[in-house]
Structure 1
Amino acid sequence: MRIAELSRASGVPPATIKYYVREGLLPSGVRTHRNQVEYSEDHVYRLRLIRALLDIGGLSVDAASELLAVLDTGKLTVRESVGEVLYALGGRRSPVGEHEQGAATADVEALLTRRGWQVDEQSPARRTLIDVCAALRLLGHADVVAAMDDYATASETIAATDIGLVRSEPSLERMTETAIVGTLLGDTLLSALRRLAQEHLSQQLLPED
């Protein structure tokens, strides 16, 4: 198919398609003539994946490019691929005071020890969790920090589902893609489900006035 057909099939404007090719997110088509390039259904699927990462997942073009590069490598083990995906996703950082940072680090270290979680010292999610705990303590919400074990229990169940879905895929490429989509879009999915559950339970458990 030509670029105009690819645009119609994917809903992505031709100029944006060319931009994705330049940025390395989308593989180039096959040049059949001097001014003619042919694209395939693989390009349609890749464009849908790119739009999902950018529009629903909220990634920057650079972050999406980094994740897709992991997907395209095809030389890593499944465990290495998942690790690359998780670390490429990074985490939010918010500097806080030294006292809050120290207390929050102790909170997180204690949680990891209690649960026996093996997590690298440089894990972006680990650093993010420390920052979150520090901010919660600074705002006077140590009760939320104290409830982390309940959140961790739910998160471990969710993570087991995530890894099960990855393991069920037939190839390394599909496993890596599932890790990317399941983690990134899964975060958005879980956030929406949590808010729906909060709306439902608040009507049952919270007073009207």
Structure 2
Amino acid sequence: MKYILADNQELTRFALESLLTKDNANVVYKATDKAGLVALLKEHECATVLLDYTLFDFTDEDQLLIVAERFSLSEWILISEELTPPFMRRVIYSSHQFSIVFKDGSIHELRDALQSVSHHQRFISQRALEAIITQQQEEEEHPNILTTTETEIVKAIAQGKTTKEIATERFSSVHTITTHRKNIFRKLGINTAHEVVKYALRAGLIDSSEFYI
């Protein structure tokens, strides 16, 4: 097996390398940024990537998914201290290449993940599954409730900022902000930016003095 460690936490990287190299047949490479990771994947397209997304220089999940799609023979184990339910749901629903475990999980769970991936089977930890299911249930019970990110974008739209400006401020892609806009409009049952302004005023997200006609 070929592995690429994409984790900039030195202690974790050392522990993972020690675990993987117990089997002398395994080969372990290391990447410290996205460019280095892509370069390694070009040489080893069938490698398994162990990535701490929160410590790496991916702009957003879209960028991560694009890289994974580009190297479709690769397998990915996302191993982090904290991943948000929307992120996890987006990633695992978009591609079967991704498995998820947490750094505070047991060593047995990580071994199970490595074993599953070696057989080209996805592994999602119990904690990740519970977080995703809980969020889905909350959305079904309160379908019109905006997330924190969506609320911030509503405020930005109401302040007259363009999609490109919002994306720049949030270090995100225009595509991601456009997707958020569509979800916001759907949840609020509206169709125009003008209606967003009225909602933001009613919800107290902006003061009338911030809005100039």
Higher relative contact order (CA 8 A, sep 6+): 1
The two structures share one fold, judged by TM-score above 0.5:
no
Higher strand share: 2
Tell me the TM-score normalised to structure 2 length.
Answer: 0.29
Tell me the TM-score normalised to structure 1 length.
Answer: 0.30
